Structure 1
């Protein structure tokens, strides 16, 4: 059983066995819970303890131009940056999955597949029946998104206002689109009842930014979203108006399972403290008030809109297919090595997009004057050569990737030394995390780099350890956001 499956089982054991008396109040067919306080003290384990045993905080978030996205190959976003700071505070790695399907996310939370839903969730009494909300980190209100009249920029303010819906009574007879599973549908139904009916509400499986774009392009006339999201999007679509509110101000928060008291306490304490900091104010301004940054992310290197990671995607895809790699993994390597700068030169003399050392570059026929295409091809060929060194001994392709990356960074000899140390001291020489990576780190200590099985002496393993981790972490972000239409052959 994998670590992930074991962890999920533990979460379910806590959450499904956690409050028997609540089960009697629920309709048949829904999960029954047993009060954790009724378990024997020696068997009690909190959600936070299970998270630490698993070794990562698992969150699901949404991908859009505010919460989580890629820009020039780098993961960014209001939610993402807040989550990184929370994970650092908890001293835990962050394991991010993405889904814009709200109903699925709430289901995954109930089932224990994720620890937290990290989205701009509006706090409502209905939702409180199913989840526990954190301390709010934002306030917003729901607004109508509509197009300004034709030639609006030639009208005065009074003329523009006369052409727009400002009175909620005028929504009767109009078709309103909302994201399925969102709070907007419930609010519109309430509003429709309040004005005597007539609002035609259409739920669709598109998140708010996609619906905003449809309004801007004239494909639909009206939709509803949070005001802060709408305001940000008017920077990119100035023909849109978001000045008509359809709700009072509402709190926005994250959600955890209602029995995750220990996790909720940690998050609430952190949010309460973090909201008061200058760092939070800067982060909020960066994503909600900075119109210049929003225009930038809607460039060709804003991945959600363009599908692009870098200017070199075409050759990265081509070379990845040649060596049997997922192109997003190779893109992560290129970003790590050069930030997609073909003119990059390191202090040690490594150069180009793939940062090959001169002696390695020479063996593949490239120089500092070689084209980006030639640089990437040479780096991919070197990766393929390293793959061939390991394929007979490390059969698991996912595991082998880490050894290839480590060897690419520090050299094959040092990695073989670390494998021999692992074997000598009864660790698995074919497992990277927690085994060979540990022995590579020890190669900076005289006791180990002087060991009889070591042939290549001292190595500063921490840089390679971080190199592998950073590339694999970024690869997960790329997989979250960018489709893979090049099939990897392992």
Structure 2
């Protein structure tokens, strides 16, 4: 977790504190012209672009698997709509609202309090959950020893006692709005410091460490964080329960309508209840963040991260792509063997292992090196045909799974039927997927015969989707 230096705090205090009872500067600016993009445009592209925030409940990676309350809701919505989900992560609300307005994203999927005062072209969805805002304060210092030796702090229980206090919150958040309103209600000043690019949980951590005294958070997330920071107190409410919603552009009424109808129905299901309990109420899930294989704290995908980085660097491959492939092949289990005899982290067949000098495929470093050498070999074979490396990697991954011959057959079929043989989606991917049909595997342009194409088709999609998630949260 990043720390705020003393100098930074002084600058922040000079720049942002005071009794902020009027709207922030961003609310005074002229309304940005909204992008013209609604449900029909999204369906035509086949992709819904969303942003969420990176924290221990909404979006993270655990043992190589992308997880999170918002991510699971988004996946359910995308599946319902038959759309591909394009997820980005940004904890800066100002940037997120700007990107929503300009059409870079279609949905801000986080715990946004649905307020009436925003006049920046934003419309809020039906609530996906409810929570009140609470004050986060330190009960005792984190290193005060055993319980009987601790010195407990005097806690604020009456909102009137916030007068003159300094509270740090995320910039442009509903917490800042609520504190401004509270200052009016108690008839006194509250020094509000709005921090850009700091997510709520980072500020909670700073309170726990004693670097700042107060912040504000939704109660459901606050109680999750008590499991990480038992020295905190979250019992003082500063608001009534509020609706927590997604945000879309005001001029996207069709998108808003379909989200609302879906949320109303989905929240009645057992599936929604399970998702909510998993991230906010399940003690076992809450403690996942304490383990090293969590992107929030430990930052590891597997026990082999350093090894994957080192071997990937030798061949100029992105280690996160290799990690995603290894997860697909073996779930990071070095001694696993497939029914066909493929072994190890990257599931090398005996002939492949021999070709690339892998004498012990169960030895992780040997196996990783051999697998990357195979990827490199495939990439070299396809480089002259497919010059765009972002497009070529799809062909390379498919070849790694099913063999280069079947991929070349699918390229020949695409060309024969008037499609682009150098483009994957809806072109070569289609013919590989259908290469189990006699019409295609008996075609004269096919040299390698029958292929169960469903597996490589999904193999490419799943590895690249997971790779995108890894890029969101890991360097």
Q: Is 1:99 paired with 2:90?
A: yes
Partner of 1:276: 268
Structure 1: distance between partners of 2:76 and 2:388: 33
SS of corresponding position for 1:325: coil
How far 1:192 moved relative to its partner? 2.1
CA distance in 2, matches of 1:240, 1:152: 15
Residue 471 of structure 1: aligned partner: 463
Indicate if the aligned counterparts of 1:130 and 1:258 stay in contact, CA closer than 8 A: yes
Aligned residue number for residue 179 of structure 1 = 170
8 Å CA contact retained: 1:352, 1:368: no
Distance of 2:119 and 2:316 partners within structure 1 = 47
Question: Which one of the candidate residues 387, 392, 397 is aligned to 1:400?
Answer: 392
Contact 2:137 2:233 in 1 (8 A): yes
1:358 aligns with: 350
C-alpha distance in structure 2 between counterparts of 1:248 and 1:423, whole Å: 63
Scaled by the length of structure 2, what TM-score is found?
0.89
Residue 63 of structure 1 contacts residue 69 of structure 1 at CA under 8 Å; is this kept in 2?
Answer: yes
Q: Classify the secondary structure of the residue corresponding to 1:253.
A: strand
Distance across 2 between alignment mates of 1:448 and 1:176: 66
Counterpart of 2:39 in structure 1 is 48
Residues 88-487 of structure 1: pairs in structure 2 closer than 5 A: 88-127=79-118, 130-149=121-140, 154=147, 163-205=154-196, 206-366=198-358, 370-483=362-475
> Residues of 2 paired with 1:439 and 1:167: CA distance?
67
- Hey, which of these two has a bigger chunk of helix by percent? 1
Which blocks of at least 5 consecutive residues in structure 2 are unaligned?
Answer: 1-27
Q: How far off its partner does 1:368 sit? A: 5.5
Deviations 1:92-118 (A, max 9, x none): 111111111111111111111111111
Aligned to 1:40: none
Q: CA deviation at 1:385?
A: 0.9
- For residues 2-21 of structure 1, the aligned pairs below 5 Å read none
Q: Kindly state the Cα deviation for residue 28 of structure 1 after the two structures are TM-superposed.
A: 10
Match of 2:64 among 59, 62, 73: 73
Is contact 2:292–2:298 with CA below 8 Å preserved after alignment?
A: yes
| Contact 1:329/1:475 (8 A) holds in 2 | yes
**Unmatched segments (≥5 aa) in structure 1:** 1-26, 35-44, 484-490
Distance 1:153 1:138, change over 3 A: farther
Of residues 374-383 and 418-427 in structure 1, the stretch that sits farther from structure 2 once superposed is 418-427
Contact persistence 2:329–2:345 (CA under 8 A): yes
Deviations 1:121-177 (A, max 9, x none): 001111366311111111111111011135697479xx96x8211111221232211
1:236 is paired with a residue whose SS is coil
3-state SS of 2:227 partner: helix
Contact 2:435 2:450 in 1 (8 A): yes
Separation of aligned partners in 1, 2:453 and 2:459: 10
Q: Rate the CA distance shift 1:48–1:198 in 2: closer, same or farther, 3 A.
A: closer
How many angstroms apart in 2 are the aligned matches of 1:91 and 1:189?
42
**Number of residue pairs matched?**
445
Q: 1:129 to 1:386 in 2, by over 3 A?
A: closer
Q: Determine which of 86, 93, 108 is the counterpart of 2:77.
A: 86
> What does the per-residue CA deviation read over 1:63-101, in whole Å, with 9 as the maximum and x for residues that have no partner?
111101100111000000011011111111111111111
Q: Could you tell me how far apart the structure 2 residues matched to 1:307 and 1:371 are?
A: 24
- Distance in 2, matches of 1:130 and 1:441, equals 43
Q: Distance in 1 between matches of 2:430 and 2:34?
A: 41
2:343·2:362 contact (CA, 8 Å) conserved in 1? no
Structure 1 pair 370–280 and aligned structure 2 pair: CA distance change class (3 A):
closer
**Aligned-residue offset at 1:298:** 2.8
Q: Secondary structure at the match of 1:237?
A: coil
Q: Are the counterparts in 2 of residues 304 and 482 from structure 1 also a CA contact under 8 Å?
A: no
Partner deviation per Cα, 1:187-209 (whole Å, 9 max, x = no partner) = 11222232232322111121100
**How far apart in 1 are the matches of 2:275 and 2:97?**
27
CA-atom RMSD in angstroms? 2.2
- What is the TM-score normalised by the length of structure 1? 0.87
| Secondary structure of residue in 2 paired with 1:120 | strand
Mapped partners of 1:459, 1:453: distance in 2: 14
SS of structure 1 residue aligned to 2:87:
strand
Q: CA deviation at 1:31?
A: 4.8
Per-residue CA distance 1:2-61 (angstroms, 9 max, x = gap): xxxxxxxxxxxxxxxxxxxxxxxxx99645689xxxxxxxxxx98221111011111111
